[in-house]
Every structure is written in C-alpha cells, then in structure tokens.
A and B are shown apart, each in its own frame.
Chain A
C-alpha cells in the first residue's frame, strides 16, 4: 500500500498503520481511498476523472457564482454555468459531441473557451505545452487564452489553423474547411505540408482550406461570423434555400424544399437556432412561401 508516493513520510505511514489497526472498518475505508487513487490515476479509462471534472466544475461554479454576483460579475458566471464543461484534467484528452440542434460551451483549463455547434465532434488534448483541438465534424468557435509559448492549434483533415490571437470560427464541411477570423489573426496551413502554401488572415477575413491550398473568400463582419454562438442566425438579403439549408443543420428532421424552384427568393431577418420551427414560420411569413406537412410529418416549403 503506497500513500501518496514520495510525499509520504515515515510518520505518516506509521500513523496510517496505527489508524488501520484501531478498527476493521478503517481498513475498508483505506480500500476506498485506494480505489479513488486508482480511479484517478493516468492510464485508466478516465471515467471518474472526466465525471469528477464536470461535477467539480458545477459545484465550484455554484460557489463562485455567489461571490461573483456580489461583485457584479454575474454575466461571466452565467457564461460558465451555461452547459459548460470545465476540462480541468492535466495531460489527458477528452472528446466532445453535440446532438443535432445542440450547442455546447467547453471551458478549457487554460482559460480558453470553445463552442461546439450542432452535430459536431471535437477532441481536445492539453498535454504539456500543447493545446490541440481536432475538429472531426461540424463547426467550432475558439476563444483562445493568451499563451505565447503554448501554441493553440485546430486540426481538420484539410489542415491546421494556428491561433496568433484570440477568436476564430472553424467549420468542417464535406470537402473543405472554412475559417473565419473574429478577432486578431490565424495562420492556416494545408494538410499537404508545403511551407509557402500557408497563409495568415486577419479579423473579418475568411478562407477556404483544402488539403492542397488556402483560398481567400469575401470578408464578413466579425460579429456576424460568431452570431451562431449566441443561438441566432441572421440573413441580409440572402437566398432562402441557403438559409433553409443552414437551419436544417440544426433540425433532427430537416425541412424539404426544392432549391432550384426557390432560387430567386431572397430573405432578410434574424431567426432563433433553438426553435427552428419558429424560425421557419417567420421565413415563410416574410417571403410569402407556403409550408405544409407531408403525410409522414415532414415540413415542406414551396411557392
């Protein structure tokens, strides 16, 4: 039986042995302690570690909220409470997943924050000085805490996006990856490692990343780029089929429509992502389109 390895003195060990000898129950309690140590040891399946990290984050946030509110920092605490996961284990990795229509805030131990959008999968690895996020599927917003000597890198099959500043959005699509910078700059490198193919883009700029190249796209207002993280989507004279496709990403049962037939219909407005039925009602009203339910209950939009 080893108590806390090198930290343990001979007296500690004697005291422990004496305590164990006092009562048979004490042996059993010591077994519990060993179980806790084993459960949290590296190399296990990580179940207790991940669960405890989340539990502690919840209860500590609750405690924190009490004084944060009294300091008038309520908003910050609420952001932390909002379904977040404090991922506070050292030198381990964790995988995060969102259902269709779900968004999840992930607070990292270094103070960085991720928001994983609908139907997404991302793996986070914080080992030593590395801060690596692998975006397997979906869209992620990263707000990176400063750490000059700890590179923060998002990787997709198309390449890597390295933070040179604070906030950006990465979206993995079927054939490519879209990168939008909200604040400061990022360096984007295609998976095919050719040094001069890397490109640095700044606030409000967008780029398409494929395994072979980085292509700049039209600029976008930085606030609009991360609007989805607040649960809203905005259209400014946008094609209605584009907007409906976007909303479909958040719908377990997508709406059906004929993109060709609706090609010339444009729409403007702000719509909630958390209630896409309501959003679609709004779109239908403002465009004069019609919606109906098919016999199997699917919503169909047509002229």
Chain B
C-alpha cells in the first residue's frame, strides 16, 4: 500500500473526520500525523478495500488512546491535589511516572473479559485476598487464581503494545 498516495488523497478527509470527533483543530492535526506515522511504522496490508475506512479504524484507536491518556492524567493530577496536603515530595517526574504506569494498566483493563477484570480489581484495588475474591465472584479458588494471573499477564502484554 502506498502511504504517500493515501496521504495525498485522503489526508484532508482524515483531518476533517478527526476534527468532527475531537472538536479541536490542534488535536485533530496531531492525531492525523500520528495516524500516518502509525501506518508507516506497522506492516500494512498490501491493499485495502476502503482506504478511508482503514484510516478511520487506525485513527479511532489513536483517539481512544488519547482520551484514555487524558483521563488518566486528570485522575493522577486529582490524586495529587488530594494528597499534596500531606505529601510535598510528589514531583512532576513522579506524576509523569504514575500517568505512564496507569495508562498501561487502564489499557489492559479495558481489554479484559468482565470476570477477569473484576477479579483483578477486587484483588489489587480493594485489596481482597484470593479466597475473598473467589467468594465475592462466586467462583472457585482455582478460577480466581487463574483469573488474577491472566489479568496480570494482560497488564504485562499491554505494556508492550506499540
């Protein structure tokens, strides 16, 4: 597939599409750039039936990533606001680190099947032990262990996408 031709023919269309979806000219321009960069970096199919559909699919994924990142950033800043009354050692670098880590975790959570995600959250966020997780979800202890392990595996894999 000729990315350059795709850009020349549908670049403007993609920027319009993104502008409609972001309601922000700057973000639309950034995401349009990112979309084509992504296409250049990844092995592209030799031909696609609908070039615009293909572009929109890649762009939509980037848009979702972008929104998630913003949500994570807001939440970390919010957490920082709550905590700073007690802690003065939370630095900008520390905030960036937390955003990066939670971005990975949230991406993995989104992709998880319902039961696996809930098992992971009960264990990690609510701090229940495996027995309590099993009881809460009405599943066997061995299932709970398997689900939690799978959730971890997915968190790990998520950190290696892109």
Q: A residues near B, CB below 8 A?
A: 7, 12, 25, 28-30, 32-33, 35-36, 39-40, 45-56, 58-60, 88-91, 94-97, 109, 121
Contacts and interface: CB of A to CB of B under 8 A. Distances in A.
A40 B79 CA distance: 13
A55 B102 contact: yes
A53 B76 CA distance: 10
A186 B86 CA distance: 30
A30 B126 CA distance: 22
B124 interface: yes
B40 interface: no
Interface stretch (B5-13, B24-32, B45-53, B89-97): B89-97
A49 B127 CA distance: 11
Given A36-B101, A47-B83, 16 more contacts: A29-B159, A32-B159, A36-B155, A47-B98, A50-B78, A50-B82, A51-B72, A51-B76, A51-B78, A51-B98, A51-B102, A52-B102, A52-B105, A55-B72, A58-B75, A91-B127
B123 to A, nearest CB: 9
A95 B86 contact: yes
Given A47-B90, A51-B98, A96 B82 contact: yes
Contacts of A49: 79
A267 to B, nearest CB: 36
Contact of B160 (A29, A52, A91): A29
Contacts of B104: 32
Contacts of A52: 75, 102, 105, 125
Contacts, number: 103
B79 A51 contact: yes
B69 to A, nearest CB: 12
Interface string B53-91: 000000000000000000110011011111101110110
Given A32-B159, A36-B105, A88-B125, A54 B89 contact: no
Contacts of B126: 88-90, 109
B127 A45 contact: no
Contacts of B83: 45-47, 50, 94-95
A54 B156 contact: no
Contacts of B101: 32, 35-36, 39, 48
20 contacts: A25-B160, A29-B160, A35-B101, A36-B101, A39-B101, A40-B125, A45-B87, A47-B83, A47-B95, A49-B79, A50-B83, A55-B106, A56-B121, A56-B125, A59-B106, A60-B121, A89-B125, A90-B127, A97-B81, A109-B126
A114 B69 CA distance: 28
Contact of A32 (B89, B90, B155): B155
Contacts of A46: 79, 83, 87
B140 interface: no
A95 B85 contact: yes
A18 B157 CA distance: 16
A45 B89 contact: yes
B38 interface: no
Contacts of A48: 76, 79, 98, 101-102
A54 B75 contact: yes
B19 interface: no
B119 interface: no
Interface string B126-157: 11011000000000000001000100100111
B75 A51 contact: yes
A52 B79 CA distance: 9
Nearest to A29: B156
B162 interface: no
Nearest to B128: A90
B110 interface: yes
A114 to B, nearest CB: 14
B109 interface: yes
Contacts of A109: 126
B155 A97 contact: no
A53 B75 CA distance: 9
B157 A47 contact: no
Contacts of A32: 101, 104, 155-156, 159
